[in-house]
């Protein structure tokens, strides 16, 4: 008995996947065919022909099917709900991990005798981690706006610490600036995902 080749197996898997797609999804694949593997495009073309969405491959040369260029954006658009949820949870985990930094800093402040400041930073870190966990569970705009608000407040506090410091080392300022940029990027990305 002759075994199926890997290509035939992949094509049959693709055929099963495309059978479940709507007509609009198949047409969307054909419009963006430049961004798919050739095997997937071939299967999508066959599926479109069988559904009478197109008559032949020659129809792909019409203006309706001219390839759409990918738009490069700072925050990309995610269309599939499943992917949106995965990315939201991943960003939420990253934000949760970022909450460890204020916890450590709060313990350091507390142990150095600055009790109220240390407790305030610890509360900030715990609040941050709680809100980040809410993003993982189910993102909502109100949670994201709260996180943005407390991030701005922490930025003011860090600015105050730098202004109060007698000597500011460039690398310290650079690392903190990069961390804040990453946090803000993550928050704005999550905000776009839940819109």
Q: What is the pLDDT of residues 155-166, one digit of tens each?
A: 999 998 888 888
- Whether the CB-CB separation of 27 and 48 falls below 8 Å is answered with yes
Distance between CA atoms of residues 125 and 98, nearest Å: 9
Confidence of residue 4 (pLDDT cuts 50, 70, 90): very low
Q: How many independent structural domains does the chain possess?
A: 2
Residues 37 and 86 occupy one common structural domain = no
75: in domain = no
Range of the domain at 32: 7-65
Mean pLDDT (whole number) for 135-141: 87
The average pLDDT across 168-180 equals 90
Question: 54 in a domain, yes or no?
Answer: yes
Max mean pLDDT range (12-21, 75-84, 166-175): 166-175
42 plus 91 within the same structural domain: no
Give 20's pLDDT tier (boundaries 50, 70, 90).
confident
Please give the DSSP secondary-structure letter assigned to residue 55: S
- Residue 88, token pair as written in the block: 């939201």
- Could you tell me the pLDDT band of residue 10, with boundaries at 50, 70 and 90? low
Q: Give the whole-angstrom CA distance, residue 57 versus residue 182.
A: 45
- 103 and 156 share a domain? yes
What pLDDT, on the 0 to 100 scale, is given for residue 169? 85
Is 76 domain-assigned?
no
Phi, psi of 86 (to 5 degrees): -60, -45
């Amino acid at each position: 008995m002759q075994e199926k080749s890997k290509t035939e197996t992949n094509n049959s898997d693709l055929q099963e996947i495309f059978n479940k797609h709507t007509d609009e999804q198949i047409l969307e694949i054909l419009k963006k065919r430049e961004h798919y593997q050739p095997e997937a495009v071939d299967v999508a073309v066959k599926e479109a022909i069988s559904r009478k969405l197109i008559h032949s491959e020659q129809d792909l040369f019409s203006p309706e099917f001219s390839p759409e260029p990918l738009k490069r954006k700072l925050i990309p658009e995610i269309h599939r709900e499943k992917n949106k949820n995965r990315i939201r949870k991943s960003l939420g985990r990253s934000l949760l991990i970022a909450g460890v930094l204020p916890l450590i800093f709060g313990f350091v402040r507390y142990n150095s005798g600055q009790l109220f400041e240390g407790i305030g930073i610890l509360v900030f870190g715990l609040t941050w981690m709680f809100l980040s966990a809410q993003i993982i569970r189910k993102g909502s705009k109100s949670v994201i706006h709260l996180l943005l608000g407390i991030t701005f407040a922490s930025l003011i506090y860090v600015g105050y610490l730098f202004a109060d410091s007698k000597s500011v080392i460039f690398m310290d300022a650079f690392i903190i600036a990069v961390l804040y940029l990453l946090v803000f990027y993550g928050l704005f990305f999550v905000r776009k995902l839940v819109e």
